[in-house]
């Protein structure tokens, strides 16, 4: 089905907030087989929003709008959609009750304009909001579907996952199923060249590659009459990708990130970890903390940015720093060892590098990074030369540090199995 996304809010047009809702909705639509052909952003203006909605209804089967469902005067999405579809707004008793209960729970008194959110277009399907006061609204008009969603991501995301996705799946004539094969250590161009024959021959399932920072994701999507048949179509393609990419694949689950995999492996082995970061300044430990349950494995995160901090907190030798420099294989090795012995953790990751834009030399240009990993009572240090701006170099460092530990744990598992 042809799908269109409209995000509503002058603050988005002004660049005051990042439009993460459009990204999330586009990804969700692609995952369940809805083809997003158009995206647009409209400010809080009734006339322009009405024009955009009319255009969308002429060319798309499903139009999803996010934002503009709040209680204030400039929240116009629902009112505009009702006018375009020539529907009256009527009070929804269930929503009014939910608004009352919401304010009672938070021990606040609702303002008069809060009751505006209990008005819905006549004949619409009301979608309860479990995290706020503005309900979602589904309008089915002349074979077209309009879906109105609250703007705050903490309200929109759970509503879409629990209620909108099941609704959209039920409207699809076929089942659309995807598997996401996620890879580290291989660039997008090389990854694509390794599966060019599969891409050229694709029909159903389809294969698409996506470049991420330090990663490549390959989506395999199948269409079938039911989920079981869709899985049968996907399985041989995923197995072929496993043969070609081997251990570079860290997961085939859409929702699983690299840090999820690393944390899960550490938990499974009963190991704790500490980090010693220089150029990444805490980004590495932050990625680990993204994972629920990370407190089970993360003992401490150290940001040892200066030479003095490296000496004081993780026992890097003064002579090592003087002879080889802070950005060196030798320093990364001592950082990894010192962090483990100082914190009594089982595993450590240490990073030191030149993120730029200044500080590079001919021998060690900007982007030079050393990553040390203490695991199974030994230290491995790898050298990298990244390109990009300061933030990209730091992000690439974090991804490669996590992947280094993942590969070391994988190698240890294989060695045990071969004994």
Note the pLDDT of residue 251: 97
pLDDT higher than 90, residue 111: no
Dihedral sign (CA 225, 221, 148, 1): negative
Average pLDDT rounded to a whole number, residues 34-62:
97
Q: Choose between 419 and 168: higher pLDDT.
A: 168
Residue 406's alpha-carbon distances to 160, 194, 305, 399, 403, in angstroms, are 32, 23, 25, 11, 5
- Whole-structure pTM value: 0.82
pLDDT higher than 90, residue 260: yes
Distance (Å, rounded) from C-alpha 122 to C-alpha 192? Answer: 50
Does residue 357 have a cis bond before it (omega within 30 degrees)? Answer: yes
Note the pLDDT of residue 416: 66
Note the pLDDT of residue 294: 96
pLDDT higher than 60, residue 297: yes
Note the pLDDT of residue 320: 98
Helix (H, G, I), strand (E, B) or coil at 220: strand
pLDDT higher than 70, residue 418: no
What are 89's strand-pairing partners?
121
Give percent of the chain with pLDDT exceeding 70.
Answer: 99
pLDDT higher than 80, residue 41: yes
Alpha helices in 195-257 (DSSP H): 196-201, 227-245
Which pLDDT band, with edges at 50, 70 and 90, does 419 fall under? Answer: low
| Strand order through the sheet with 273-277 | 298-303, 273-277, 347-353, 368-375, 378-385
Report pLDDT digits (tens) over 87-108.
Answer: 999 999 999 999 999 899 888 8
Note the pLDDT of residue 363: 94
Report pLDDT digits (tens) over 115-126.
Answer: 999 999 999 999
Note the pLDDT of residue 394: 97
**CB under 8 Å to 122, separation ≥6 — which residues?**
87, 88, 89, 90
Note the pLDDT of residue 73: 87
Q: Choose between 90 and 113: higher pLDDT.
A: 90
pLDDT higher than 60, residue 162: yes
Quote the mean pLDDT of the chain: 95
Note the pLDDT of residue 417: 66
Distance (Å, rounded) from C-alpha 335 to C-alpha 166? Answer: 49
């Amino acid at each position: 089905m042809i799908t269109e996304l409209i995000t509503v809010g002058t603050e988005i047009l002004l660049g005051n907030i990042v439009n993460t809702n459009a990204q999330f909705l586009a990804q969700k639509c692609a995952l369940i087989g809805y083809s997003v052909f158009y995206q647009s952003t409209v400010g809080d203006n009734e006339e322009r929003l009405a024009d955009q909605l009319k255009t969308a209804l002429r060319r798309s089967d499903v139009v999803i709008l996010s934002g503009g469902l709040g209680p204030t005067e400039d929240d116009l999405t629902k009112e505009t959609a009702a006018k375009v579809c020539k529907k009256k707004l009527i009070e929804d008793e269930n929503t009014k009750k939910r608004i009352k209960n919401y304010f009672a729970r938070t021990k606040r008194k609702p303002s008069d304009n809060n009751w505006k959110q209990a008005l819905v277009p006549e004949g619409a399907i009301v979608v309860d909001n479990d995290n706020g006061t503005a309900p979602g609204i589904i309008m089915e008009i002349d074979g077209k579907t309009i879906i109105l969603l609250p703007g705050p991501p903490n309200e929109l995301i759970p509503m879409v996952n629990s209620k909108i996705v099941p609704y959209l799946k039920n409207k699809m004539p076929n089942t659309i199923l995807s598997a996401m094969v996620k890879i580290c250590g291989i660039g997008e161009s090389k990854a694509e060249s390794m599966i060019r024959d599969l891409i050229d021959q694709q029909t159903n399932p389809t294969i698409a590659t996506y470049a991420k920072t330090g990663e490549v994701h390959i989506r395999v999507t199948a269409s079938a009459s039911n989920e079981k048949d869709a899985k049968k179509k996907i399985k041989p393609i995923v197995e072929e990708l496993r043969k070609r990419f081997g251990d570079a694949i860290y997961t085939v689950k859409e929702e699983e990130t690299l840090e999820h995999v690393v944390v899960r492996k550490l938990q499974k082995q009963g190991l704790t970890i500490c980090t010693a970061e220089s150029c990444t300044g805490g980004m590495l430990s932050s990625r680990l903390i993204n994972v629920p349950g990370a407190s089970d494995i993360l003992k401490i995160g150290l940001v040892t940015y200066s030479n003095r901090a490296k000496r004081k907190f993780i026992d890097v030798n003064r002579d090592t720093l003087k002879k080889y420099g802070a950005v060196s294989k030798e320093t990364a090795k001592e950082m990894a060892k010192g962090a483990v012995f100082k914190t009594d953790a089982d595993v450590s990751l240490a990073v030191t590098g030149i993120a730029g834009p200044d500080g590079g030399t001919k021998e060690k240009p900007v982007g030079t990074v050393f990553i040390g990993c203490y695991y199974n009572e030994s230290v491995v240090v790898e050298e990298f030369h990244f390109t990009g701006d300061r933030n990209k170099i730091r992000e690439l460092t974090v991804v490669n540090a996590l992947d280094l530990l993942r590969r070391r744990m994988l190698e240890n598992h294989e060695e045990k199995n071969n004994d």
